């Protein structure tokens, strides 16, 4: 899966060790709520070297997991991790794996290791079972969750997990990142069916470019296959506030939840996050003389829109600006009947979000308004319409001076 070229802010991070980091990364890569993964080394001796795969500083191979706490809780991530440990222990005892044979040694807690109670072989230490937190609050939650678990017994051992603050993390080389995704000729030991994943809808449809050209309305085809952009305020979903799910109009793949949609005052449907990172691909777009990040549907490989780093800060700071022509909206009441029942529990009432760019533009307009007149504020209202569907202008001005939409005219941010 291609990583997003713009990372959201306000996400949570957890570091986990247990077996080779390639296996951990493969297990978590497509988990629901996971934003990004990276493998590396942690909690070794500061300044020690990792040379030619030889650990000289007692480092553990770890997975750095960036996840969206609005999609998945820390406790759910830990439940997945414990599940992985059981699966990994079973997988490596049912087949030959000389590289991890040493990991059969029992892993003792951090205090015992530090005091010299146990001296473990190199492989066991490097593949030790541990969770590393970046905040004291997260560490207490990790300890509380792990303490409540019964002893975790697998065919080869009873597991004890170290719960510590993160120290001395170093990312692994690029050759180790997304290893199984890059090396398609190699397979992870943990079966794909055992991994956590996003909720699923009905079977996805496939259309060739030729079929799309023959069957889709001309304007929709131009958006999807020629990377065109609809006019703002003149598209189907820009001002829709109904609860439901937005899917890829071609494949039917789930893309966005209604509760992640907000009024960006741009005239296009705007979302703060996708249903899952697997739904989208990202491509650098250098057209129009500027650098933008194009958003494409993973399954149909069609153009959806662009993503910008000017969204609401409290939800990650991203704005997915999407063409209505690329979407099909399914109301919440119809989800089960159309095969999307697994998404019902994810849909919540839409909450108001402040668009930081619009707020700045509004402030600037008010400051520039002549005394006693409508001035900029009047321009602002006439350009954007109301947040709940008042009559919008037929077309936003392409002039950078026209109105007061923070540079988001028909050519400003799309």
DSSP string, 346-359: G---------HHHH
Does residue 366 sit within a domain?
A: no
Domain end residue (candidates: 355, 373, 400): 355
Does residue 232 sit within a domain?
A: yes
Using an 8 Å Cβ cutoff, are 329 and 242 in contact? yes
Residue 295, pLDDT above cutoff 50: yes
CA-CA distance, 108 to 93, in Å (whole number)? 20
CA-CA distance, 178 to 180, in Å (whole number)? 6
Which contiguous run of DSSP H or E holds residue 131?
strand 130-133
- 214 & 190 share domain: no
pLDDT confidence bin for 227, thresholds 50/70/90: very high
Average pLDDT over every residue of 136-140: 97
Using an 8 Å Cβ cutoff, are 215 and 305 in contact? no
- 259 & 286 share domain: yes
Q: What is the pLDDT of residues 251-284, one digit of tens each?
A: 999 999 999 999 999 999 999 999 988 899 999 9
Identify the residue with better confidence: 257 or 364.
Answer: 257
Per the structure, how many domains does the chain have? 2
According to DSSP H, which parts of 260-374 are helical? Answer: 356-368
CA-CA distance, 96 to 119, in Å (whole number)? 25
pLDDT confidence bin for 341, thresholds 50/70/90: very high
The top-scoring range by mean pLDDT among 153-167, 180-194, 214-228 is: 214-228
Average pLDDT over every residue of 361-380: 43
pLDDT confidence bin for 121, thresholds 50/70/90: low
The whole-number pLDDT of residue 204 equals 94
Does residue 401 sit within a domain?
A: no
- 70 & 130 share domain: yes
- 165 & 246 share domain: no
Residue 6, pLDDT above cutoff 70: no
Residue 344, pLDDT above cutoff 60: yes
Q: What is the pLDDT of residues 305-335, one digit of tens each?
A: 999 999 998 888 899 999 999 999 999 999 9
Q: What share of the chain is helix, strand, coil (3-state, %, to 5)?
A: 30, 20, 50
pLDDT confidence bin for 395, thresholds 50/70/90: very low
Which contiguous run of DSSP H or E holds residue 39?
strand 34-42
Return the CATH number at 228: 2.170.150.20
The whole-number pLDDT of residue 284 equals 94
- 98 & 236 share domain: no
pLDDT confidence bin for 230, thresholds 50/70/90: very high
Identify the residue with better confidence: 401 or 173.
Answer: 173
Average pLDDT over every residue of 224-234: 96
Does residue 223 sit within a domain?
A: yes
Other beta carbons less than 10 A from residue 337's beta carbon: 9
The whole-number pLDDT of residue 194 equals 75
- 238 & 267 share domain: yes
The whole-number pLDDT of residue 51 equals 52
Domain limits for position 331: 209-355
Sole residue written with tokens 């599940």: 83
Return the CATH number at 56: 3.30.1060.10
Average pLDDT over every residue of 374-380: 35
- 85 & 230 share domain: no
pLDDT confidence bin for 403, thresholds 50/70/90: very low
* Angle, CA 230 vertex, CA 215 and CA 253 arms, to 5°: 55
- 248 & 222 share domain: yes
Which contiguous run of DSSP H or E holds residue 60?
strand 60-67
- 87 & 111 share domain: yes
Sheet holding 244-248, edge to edge: 254-257, 244-248, 327-331
Average pLDDT over every residue of 330-359: 81
Does residue 413 sit within a domain?
A: no
Residue 216, pLDDT above cutoff 60: yes
Identify the residue with better confidence: 256 or 414.
Answer: 256
Q: Helix, strand, or coil here: 383?
A: helix
pLDDT confidence bin for 102, thresholds 50/70/90: very low
- 246 & 187 share domain: no
Does residue 132 sit within a domain?
A: yes
- 287 & 322 share domain: yes
Q: Residue 220 has what DSSP assignment?
A: H
Does residue 305 sit within a domain?
A: yes
Mean per-residue pLDDT over the chain, rounded: 78
In this structure, of 40-54, 56-70, 90-104, 289-303, the range with the lowest mean pLDDT score is 90-104
Residue 78, pLDDT above cutoff 60: yes
The whole-number pLDDT of residue 187 equals 80
Does residue 406 sit within a domain?
A: no
E-strand ranges in 211-325 read 244-248, 254-257, 261-262, 270-271, 280-285, 292-297, 303-308, 319-322
pLDDT confidence bin for 117, thresholds 50/70/90: very low
Domain end residue (candidates: 308, 337, 355): 355
The whole-number pLDDT of residue 321 equals 97
Q: Helix, strand, or coil here: 296?
A: strand
The whole-number pLDDT of residue 384 equals 33
- 140 & 226 share domain: no
CA-CA distance, 268 to 234, in Å (whole number)? 8
Q: How far is CA 172 from CA 21, 63, 125, 210, in A?
A: 10, 10, 17, 43
Q: Helix, strand, or coil here: 9?
A: coil
Domain end residue (candidates: 143, 164, 194): 194
């Amino acid at each position: 899966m291609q990583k997003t070229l713009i990372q959201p802010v306000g996400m949570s991070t957890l570091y986990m060790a247990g077996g080779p980091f390639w296996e951990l990364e493969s297990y978590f890569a497509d988990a629901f709520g996971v934003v990004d993964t990276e493998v590396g080394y942690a909690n070794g001796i500061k300044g020690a070297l990792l040379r030619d795969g030889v650990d000289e500083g007692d480092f553990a191979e770890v997975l750095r997991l960036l996840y969206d706490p609005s999609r998945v809780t820390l406790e759910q991530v830990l439940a997945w991790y414990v599940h992985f440990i059981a699966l990994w222990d079973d997988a490596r005892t049912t087949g030959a794996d000389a590289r991890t044979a040493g990991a059969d040694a029992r892993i003792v807690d951090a205090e015992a290791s530090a005091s010299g109670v146990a001296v473990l072989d190199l492989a066991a230490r490097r593949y030790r079972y541990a969770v590393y937190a970046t905040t004291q609050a997260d560490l207490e939650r990790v300890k509380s969750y792990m303490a409540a678990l019964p002893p975790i017994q697998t065919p080869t051992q009873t597991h004890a997990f170290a719960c510590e603050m993160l120290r001395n993390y170093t990312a692994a080389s690029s050759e180790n990142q997304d290893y199984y995704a890059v090396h398609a000729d190699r397979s992870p030991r943990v079966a794909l069916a055992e991994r956590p994943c996003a909720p699923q809808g009905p079977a996805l449809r496939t259309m060739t470019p030729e079929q799309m050209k023959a069957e889709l309305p001309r304007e929709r085809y131009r958006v999807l296959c020629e990377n065109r952009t609809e006019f703002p305020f003149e598209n189907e979903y820009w001002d829709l506030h109904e609860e439901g799910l937005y899917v890829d109009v071609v494949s039917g793949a789930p893309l966005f939840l209604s509760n992640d949609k907000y009024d960006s005052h741009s005239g296009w449907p705007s979302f703060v996050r996708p249903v899952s990172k697997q739904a989208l691909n990202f491509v650098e777009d250098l057209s129009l003389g500027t650098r933008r990040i194009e958003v494409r549907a993973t399954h149909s490989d069609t153009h959806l829109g662009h993503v910008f780093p000017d969204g609401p800060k409290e939800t990650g700071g991203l704005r997915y600006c999407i063409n209505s022509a690329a979407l099909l909206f399914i109301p919440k009441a119809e989800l089960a009947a159309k095969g999307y029942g697994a998404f019902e529990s994810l849909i919540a009432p839409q909450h108001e979000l402040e668009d930081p760019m619009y707020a700045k533009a509004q402030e600037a307009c008010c400051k520039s308004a002549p005394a006693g007149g409508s001035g900029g504020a009047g321009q602002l209202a006439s350009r954007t319409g109301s947040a709940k569907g008042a009559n919008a202008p037929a077309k936003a001005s392409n002039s950078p001076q026209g109105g007061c939409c923070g540079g988001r005219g028909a050519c400003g941010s799309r």
